[in-house]
Chain A
């Protein structure tokens, strides 16, 4: 059964699920938390289902008798614009009045709100619009049909003679109108199983660059993120977990910390020390004043050199075959083979909103306030940690100050609940930036081996072996099992790479790094694969004596949408026109997250090895663009995210702990380093593709190839090594 078919929670079902309890708590919440924006209410605090109105045909739509239309968001807003694009999809087929809609965060409920593609209630993998596109259109069209049927019955006319517009049913022949609010109480029939959906030519909202609903309160400080939650009697806390992965607390001397004004309590757990105070400053000062001796545990000897040597060794063995076409081994044995290895480092997410979680734990209840990409998993994890039944745990989700995959994990909730067990009353736990950088679940370190042969200037044989941690194996074990040990994400954009190659094999070697926990990071598997493939393609083009764009064009015969994107990016970037010395253009293409993207980077490398990004030019075919301006924004921002990784991003390990700690040694691209960015949208009638992660994936290989063009140096590992570019070190 689809996610949509079994919706419609009754008030009774909500009571039974324990959600009703949260209504009581919601009354304690200051009204200031609900922000009125553009006529829409983004309720940043409650995170629970609104009281079902008289018209509640499914889990996403409620209309009260005043016509107020509340849309429940199954995917959470973390900057990607989903609290505008998802409402646009619903309002389009519902023909709702765009100016009178209100938004609510979905509560934890896997049955009602699971992402149809991911199968869990999660926001990730650039999957919000593409997974919910049809289910939400259908749910909204069913709702509209019920409202039309109710009006037609009242008027005693054929429903087919009625139309809808902006929250009204209209009978033109008799010049009669009923608002959705007036119909809310009577529209209680059985919805048609397959109501007709609008033709794209009839779209009123979809395809228009509508203003975002969440941004007005982000200009005046009124948006409430998880970190902003304030509760009566709340205490403030921060903690230090053992910096050595897998280590413990050996000894704590708290004599100085106890003297800090405002410090209330020190909680020592076996692997973590927390200080609770009157405010964050007291907690942080208290933590700084603690003298903690750590037992580094079993990983004290682990460092980056060991991890790299381990993964390189693992990459020498045969992997599981993920995809095979023709006879790659035979083709590779016959031709002039070229082999190159590429490597990606560990990366932290560094969301601007540091990890945080507010907990109010009593002996028989647990209430949580946080911003998360996995609200249902937060509920189950908190219940398990607190030792309470699921229905005793209430989770209030919030607008997220940066996710990028970091908030697909519940570790900050687990730590907060463990601390809260020792605290009387509600406590807000905020991580310092140092704690945030050192206790992430890191983008895996990957090692890719590629081998190819050329025949008549084209690639005849191709062998790609990907070695690295499998995040899916830990995060979604059923999917890992279903593919017999192949991680669908780790091979994404490698098995389905766009070039027509007659003899082709892709293998995967799962190798978990010692000590270092790994997680999803914006761009996920494609980040690694597109980088390795597109870097290798550029090296092959040079070997074949061909222009990088022409070399790619000749092999994109199977993918006309990508070919069109490549041609447009080449044209708009001035590909082929002369550049001054030490400057170069590099190209990268990808079919990732069901979007077709080509990017040209224009860079300059000075003699000291510093890279200046002049311009990034991208052409994208992402199917129907629900909110075109959001798509442009995601690519602009995503490319900055990718450029940050390419130029600055690396987490290194020493003595089993992360060496970086704040933005001084884990650098972010800043505005003075940001290139000009041109994004060209290609009009398309295909189903929407994913977009949130594509920029992060497309920028690094384009930049790397531009550096190759400018200097002739083929970088094989990210981030860019200035020592290599300055000629002081071998590539």
Chain B
């Protein structure tokens, strides 16, 4: 039974099994490969997207359960003021190494800053500890989140 998803401001109709997680709909059906598969069981955070602005692990969320809520992926997060600030801070601090986990890191960081504009270290630990980075970029992630928090509003890449 086809149903509609609202992804990055566009309505997309998909015809997929009802239990199919959003991750695979994004990647394999819609070709939005910026959202990554890491573990399949919400242990690593590589698949993090926003549902109505809240960070969600898309590998366990059935696409059919999303309903009318707005899905934002890494491909479009730069269109939000906070997303753009996070991306810029990531580049200014040169956080990224292999980069595979960084879509999820940026989505989690953008959601953190939307909810907590000036996070302290414990806020960062709580919001970001679900995202594994095997290259070990944590020191710079912490620094970049603080930098993005201080960046003036409206600053874009």
Contact = CB atoms under 8 A, between A and B. Distances in A.
Nearest to B105: A671
A280 B26 CA distance: 11
Contact of B99 (A79, A638, A676): A79
Contacts of A216: 91
Nearest to B137: A637
B106 A219 contact: yes
A221 B103 contact: yes
B13 to A, nearest CB: 16
B67 interface: no
Name the prevailing secondary structure of the B interface residues.
loop
A636 B75 CA distance: 28
A228 interface: yes
Contacts of A219: 78, 87, 90-91, 96, 102, 106
B64 interface: no
B94 A215 contact: yes
Contact of B78 (A220, A279, A430): A220
B135 A402 contact: yes
Contacts of B101: 352
Contacts of B40: 284, 432-433, 662
Nearest to A351: B134
Interface in A641-682: 641, 644, 662-664, 668-672, 674, 676-677
B133 to A, nearest CB: 7
Contact of A352 (B24, B106, B132, B140): B132
Contacts of B29: 279
A669 B125 contact: no
B38 interface: yes
B20 to A, nearest CB: 5
B100 A401 contact: yes
Contacts of A279: 16, 20, 24, 28-29
Contact of A221 (B75, B91, B124): B75
Contacts of A508: none
Contacts of A636: 136-137, 139-140
B50 interface: no
Contacts of A668: 44, 132, 134
Interface in B61-97: 73-75, 77-78, 87, 90-91, 94-97
Interface string B86-129: 01001100111111111100100000000000000000111011
A401 B140 CA distance: 18
B32 interface: yes
Interface in A279-308: 279-282, 284-285
Interface string B42-66: 0110100000000000000000000
Contacts of B95: 215
B27 A280 contact: yes
Contacts of B90: 215, 219
Contacts of B128: 671-672
Contact of B98 (A284, A402, A669, A670): A402
Contacts of A79: 96-99, 135
A611 B138 CA distance: 18
Given A663-B44, A671-B131, A671-B142, A401 B98 contact: yes
Given A236-B28, A640-B138, A668-B134, A221 B100 contact: no
A640 B97 contact: no
B39 interface: yes
A78 B136 CA distance: 13
A629 B39 CA distance: 30
A230 B31 contact: yes
Q: How extensive is the interface on chain B, given as a class?
A: 35 or more
Interface in A45-97: 78-81
B136 A640 contact: yes
Q: How extensive is the interface on chain A, given as a class?
A: 35 or more
Contact of B34 (A81, A222, A354): A222
B113 to A, nearest CB: 15
Given A663-B43, A672-B125, A350 B87 contact: no
A223 interface: yes
B138 A671 contact: yes
A676 B139 contact: yes
Interface string A329-369: 00000000000000000000011111000000000000000
B98 A353 contact: yes
B96 A430 contact: no
A281 B47 CA distance: 14
B24 A281 contact: yes
Contacts of A223: 99
Contacts of B24: 279-281
B33 A81 contact: no
A218 B134 contact: no
Contact of A671 (B33, B43, B74, B129): B129
A678 to B, nearest CB: 9
A433 B31 CA distance: 21
Contact of B124 (A354, A638, A664, A671): A671
Contacts of B39: 433, 662-663
Interface in A98-141: none
B17 A402 contact: no
Contacts of A261: 17
B11 interface: no
A224 interface: yes
A280 B135 CA distance: 26
Contacts of A221: 32-35, 73-75, 103
Interface in A573-593: none
A230 B99 contact: no
Q: Which one of B28, B98, B131 has the greatest number of beta carbons of chain A within 10 Å?
A: B98
B146 interface: no
A228 B26 CA distance: 11
B94 A352 contact: no
A663 B133 CA distance: 12
A430 B95 CA distance: 27
Q: Which one of A81, A352, A634, A677 has the greatest number of beta carbons of chain B within 10 Å?
A: A352
A180 to B, nearest CB: 28
B91 A80 contact: no
Nearest to A643: B136
A119 B43 CA distance: 39
Interface of B: 16-17, 19-21, 24, 27-29, 31-41, 43-44, 46, 73-75, 77-78, 87, 90-91, 94-103, 106, 124-126, 128-142
6 contacts: A219-B102, A221-B34, A281-B24, A352-B134, A640-B139, A662-B41
Given A219-B78, A280-B28, A674-B139, 10 more contacts: A227-B36, A281-B20, A281-B21, A636-B140, A663-B39, A668-B132, A668-B134, A670-B131, A671-B125, A671-B138
Interface of A: 78-81, 211-212, 214-216, 218-225, 227-228, 230, 236, 261-262, 278-282, 284-285, 350-354, 399-404, 430, 432-433, 629, 633-634, 636-641, 644, 662-664, 668-672, 674, 676-677, 695
In the A-B complex, the 9 residue pairs with the closest CB atoms? A221-B34, A640-B136, A401-B100, A79-B98, A218-B99, A79-B97, A637-B136, A279-B28, A228-B33
